[in-house]
Amino acid sequence: MSIRNRIVVVDYGMGNIHSIVKKIKHLGRDVFVSSNSDEILKSDKIILSGVGHFKQAMNNLRKSKLIDTLNQAALVQKKPILGICLGLQIFANNLHEHGLSKGLGLIDAEVVPFKKKNLFNIGWQNLEIVNKNEKFGNIENNNSFYFCHSHYLKFNQKKDEEECVGISKFENLVPSLIIKENFVGMQFHPEKSQKNGSNLIKNFLGWFPE
């Protein structure tokens, strides 16, 4: 496998790995799953998926000694990284769920619950494109994607909202597609979003940011 084709899905014990691996293989690309820092840092593209509680996710990353690995990959090596659902939220500053948990801090945002207690966004929502990003690929407006989450990103500064390429509407506006330098974050699940999701995964697999 050449380095430009070396795609890794990070295994940090938060599930949902099988779906994204299956989708990538269906698209005709090789992919492997690993929790080994050396293998992750040697990869060309990194995918961090996941469902579940933020605090448990950070504990798992800490126990697996992957926090420094992800920071090095994102900030030093500048590798293309895709964060899906919980995998997106991990890259925010903090998450407010059963107390305060510290994230990786790549995105200057907080992860907060919907105002209504125990409210979940589960199902299909349209993605409204609010900021064009030509380098990632053409993304059509108002295509639908599958969501399953109870927390969402809230940017700390107005200027950082420019990193939000697409929003969805559920109780309030939800930043749902984030592109910042070498990082792409999707609040929805592209691997479960049929053709629209496949197109975004293809964009990521063919993406080499400057």
Which residue among the candidates 85, 149, 163, 164 is catalytic per the annotation? Answer: 85
Q: Is 39 considered catalytic here? A: no
Half-sphere exposure of 58 (CA within 13 A, CB side): 19
Residue 121, strand partner residues: 149
71 pLDDT exceeds 70?
yes
DSSP 8-state symbol, 188: S
H or E, element range at 182: none
Nearest to 12 by CA among 41, 43, 33: 33
Q: Are 27 and 19 in contact (CB under 8 A)?
A: no
Summarize the chain as % helix, strand, coil (round to 5): 30, 35, 35
Task: Tell me the domains of the chain and their CATH numbers.
Answer: 3-205 (3.40.50.880)
Q: Summarize pLDDT for 105-138 with one digit per residue, the tens.
A: 999 999 999 988 778 899 999 999 999 888 888 8
**Tokens at 107, concatenated:** 């995105």
Separation CA 163–CA 132 (nearest Å): 10
Which residue among the candidates 110, 151, 163, 189 is catalytic per the annotation? Answer: 189
Q: Is 97 considered catalytic here? A: no
Q: Are 182 and 153 in contact (CB under 8 A)?
A: no
Q: Summarize pLDDT for 21-30 with one digit per residue, the tens.
A: 999 999 999 9
Q: Is 96 considered catalytic here? A: no
Separation CA 167–CA 138 (nearest Å): 16
Q: Are 57 and 90 in contact (CB under 8 A)?
A: yes
**Tokens at 2, concatenated:** 């050449």
DSSP 8-state symbol, 210: -
Band of pLDDT at residue 184, cut at 50, 70 and 90:
very high
**Tokens at 152, concatenated:** 């969402």
Q: Alpha helices of the chain — where are they, by DSSP H?
A: 17-26, 37-42, 54-63, 67-71, 86-89, 194-205
What's the pLDDT at 97? 77
Q: Are 183 and 164 in contact (CB under 8 A)?
A: no
3 pLDDT exceeds 50?
no
What's the pLDDT at 4? 56
Task: Please count the residues of the chain.
Answer: 210
Helix, strand, or coil here: 1? coil
